[in-house]
Amino acid sequence: MNYRIEKDTMGEVKVPADKLWGAQTERSRNNFKIGASASMPLEIVYGFAYLKKAAAYTNCDLDVLSKEKRDLIAQVCDEILEGKHNDQFPLVIWQTGSGTQSNMNVNEVVANRAHQIAGQVIGEGEKTIQPNDDVNKSQSSNDTFPTGMHIAAYKKVVETTIPGVIQLRNTLHKKSLEFNTVVKIGRTHLMDATPLTLGQEFSGYVSQLDHGLKALQHTLHHLSELALGGTAVGTGMNTPEGYDVLVAKYIAEFTGLPFVTAENKFEALAAHDAIVETHGALKLLAVSLNKIANDIRMMASGPRSGIGEIIIPANEPGSSIMPGKVNPTQCEALTMVCAQVMGNDVAISVGGTQGHYELNVFKPMMAANILQSAQLLGDACVSFEEHCASGIEPNHQVIKELLNNSLMLVTALNTKIGYYKAAEIANTAHKNGTTLKEEAVNLGYVSAEDYDEWVKPENMVGSIK
């Protein structure tokens, strides 16, 4: 492999000749060989591209950067956003907690690519654009990385998570309306309870997702606040007057999202409560989705030796030894995603505690985890909707059999003959293997006519809206 020599404040470093990165990137690549597959998410790189372009425009407007340098930086940032240089960002998540090396990785790639665009050869002559003095002007890793991760997380949530959850929510709402008159037995403690409709049961799932979506959308305001302009410790040292407000306006313009400058830069650098808060809402959705998927899995269990109240799509063979077996694979995939998100929330919560004085130093891990959770939840909701929820149908025969066989229908007699006599009827029927009606009449507590009049499952489900 051919190499060229790059320099930083610690001296010379050999860098692969065909790469755009420089000395600091290469040092990090050599010093942090931890989890080769745990690359810094490209979404963070793209967040940096947005902010570097915005910083260049802002610096130019405030007369601290030339228009020529602004345009070169912006051109390279646009190339990065188009995915043209994805292979130029080799660093892993497990690096310095401020993300300094990733910030410099972007600075070096922008500078060297700008040198190429200017008609020069990388490694020869003075750089057309300087990584620190030009690309990183008015910035610090301490305010660029939190800005980049807010941009990345906000975009991921609004472009992937929320649409995916809404798609599933809408299908479950449609099913709740379709199933609203399908009376079935309810269950509490996994034991028979009083009846409800399948639609009412599904309406609970819809409400869970509605609450989760509201919680997630509520966190976006905090996530939209950007640290850029705080530089090293939040004071804004080495930034021109008005820089923080203007750079946030440019980021909002370039992304099409409502980003603003953070009211308090000290909080924005030293604490990442917005990430903790947003991921808390993602965890809430994971908890809800786990319950929904497990309910559907259990209701579909069987097909002949389980509950079998609903029929879910048969998507693929379920066993390499048992012919004809089909499994609730979408339920399993969704609940595994939920487990991962819950685990990520623990890591993010721990990361949020690592703000010592003026800087939180768990930024890369927190950024990677929230992006993974947001992506997984959005993708899993779409997959579950397309391959499971949209095809759910009631098994009317089984629902009717289980409903009519339930001892908890005796609850309808409470107000007629009292709790204790009703309990005696249920216990006797269970002991003798007989029906509630038979034992109610045998015990002399009600007539057959009264039983038929009072014990009607369809009258026990409350109002159906």
Q: Which stretch of 1-10, 101-110, 143-152, 225-234 has the lowest confidence by average pLDDT?
A: 1-10
| Spacing of C-alpha 81 from chain mean position | 22
Does residue 56 contact residue 125 with C-beta atoms inside 8 Å? no
Does residue 134 contact residue 222 with C-beta atoms inside 8 Å? no
Same domain, yes or no: 245 and 361: yes
Q: Is residue 464 part of a domain?
A: no
Per-residue pLDDT of 441-452, as tens digits, reads 999 999 999 999
The answer to whether 325 is annotated as binding is: yes
| pLDDT recorded at residue 465 | 64
| pLDDT recorded at residue 1 | 79
312/421 Cα distance (integer angstroms): 40
If DSSP codes are grouped into helix, strand and coil, which group holds residue 186?
Answer: strand
The answer to whether 19 is annotated as binding is: no
If DSSP codes are grouped into helix, strand and coil, which group holds residue 191?
Answer: strand
Sign of CA dihedral 365, 369, 375, 380: positive
Give the CATH number for residue 423.
1.10.40.30
Same domain, yes or no: 104 and 177: no
Any idea which residue has 């939040």 for tokens?
234
Instruction: Give backbone dihedrals phi and psi of 125, rounded to 5 degrees, phi first.
Output: 75, 175
Q: Is residue 8 part of a domain?
A: yes
The answer to whether 327 is annotated as binding is: yes
pTM of the model: 0.96
Does residue 58 contact residue 27 with C-beta atoms inside 8 Å? no
Q: Which stretch of 34-38, 74-78, 309-313, 326-330 has the lowest confidence by average pLDDT?
A: 34-38
Task: Say whether pLDDT at 343 is over 80.
Answer: yes
Dig out the tokens for 320 from the structure: 């390499």
Q: Which of 356, 374, 397 is at the close of a domain? A: 397
pLDDT band, residue 295 (cuts 50/70/90): very high
Q: Is residue 465 part of a domain?
A: no
pLDDT band, residue 37 (cuts 50/70/90): confident
Average pLDDT value for the chain: 97
Q: Is residue 432 part of a domain?
A: yes
72/130 Cα distance (integer angstroms): 11
**In terms of DSSP H, where are the helices of 242-395?**
243-255, 265-270, 273-299, 329-352, 363-387
Give the CATH number for residue 23.
1.10.275.10
Same domain, yes or no: 12 and 123: yes
The answer to whether 138 is annotated as binding is: no
Dig out the tokens for 361 from the structure: 């130093």
The answer to whether 140 is annotated as binding is: yes
Task: Say whether pLDDT at 3 is over 80.
Answer: yes
Work out the average pLDDT over 324-337: 97
Task: Say whether pLDDT at 134 is over 80.
Answer: yes
The answer to whether 39 is annotated as binding is: no
Same domain, yes or no: 208 and 345: yes
Same domain, yes or no: 259 and 236: yes
Q: Is residue 426 part of a domain?
A: yes
Same domain, yes or no: 237 and 384: yes
The answer to whether 188 is annotated as binding is: yes
Per-residue pLDDT of 174-212, as tens digits, reads 999 999 999 999 999 999 999 999 999 999 999 999 999
| pLDDT recorded at residue 367 | 98
The answer to whether 100 is annotated as binding is: yes
67, with CB counted inside 10 A (0-12, 13-18, 19+), is exposed
Does residue 230 contact residue 245 with C-beta atoms inside 8 Å? no
pLDDT band, residue 464 (cuts 50/70/90): low
Same domain, yes or no: 81 and 177: no
For 36: left if phi > 0, alpha if psi spans -120 to 50, otherwise beta; the answer is alpha
Same domain, yes or no: 322 and 278: yes
173 noted as active-site residue: no
Same domain, yes or no: 170 and 77: no
Work out the average pLDDT over 244-268: 98
33/22 Cα distance (integer angstroms): 17
Omega before 90 cis (within 30°)? no
Give buried/exposed letters for 174-201 (b at 16+ CB in 10 A, else e): ebbeebbebbbbbbeeeebebbbbbbbb
Among residues 319, 356, 396, 430, the one annotated as catalytic is 319
Q: Is residue 131 part of a domain?
A: yes
Per-residue pLDDT of 393-413, as tens digits, reads 999 999 999 999 999 999 999
The answer to whether 320 is annotated as binding is: yes
Neighbours of 269 (CB within 10 A): 27
Same domain, yes or no: 380 and 430: no
CA angle 231, 5, 79 (to 5 degrees): 55
Per-residue pLDDT of 111-131, as tens digits, reads 999 999 999 999 999 999 999
393/399 Cα distance (integer angstroms): 11
Work out the average pLDDT over 215-231: 98
222 noted as active-site residue: no
Q: Is residue 366 part of a domain?
A: yes
Q: Which of 137, 158, 174 is at the close of a domain? A: 137
Q: Which of 137, 171, 197 is at the close of a domain? A: 137
Q: Is residue 153 part of a domain?
A: yes
| pLDDT recorded at residue 252 | 98
23/32 Cα distance (integer angstroms): 14
Share of the chain above pLDDT 70, in %: 100
Enclosing domain of residue 33: 3-137
The answer to whether 373 is annotated as binding is: no
Any idea which residue has 């997959």 for tokens?
383
User: How many domains are there within the chain?
Assistant: 3
Give the CATH number for residue 357.
1.20.200.10
Instruction: Give backbone dihedrals phi and psi of 90, rounded to 5 degrees, phi first.
Output: -90, 0
Same domain, yes or no: 192 and 259: yes
Which residues fall within 8 angstroms of residue 258, CB to CB, at 6 or more apart?
224, 252
Same domain, yes or no: 123 and 152: no
Strands 393-394 and 260-261: unpaired
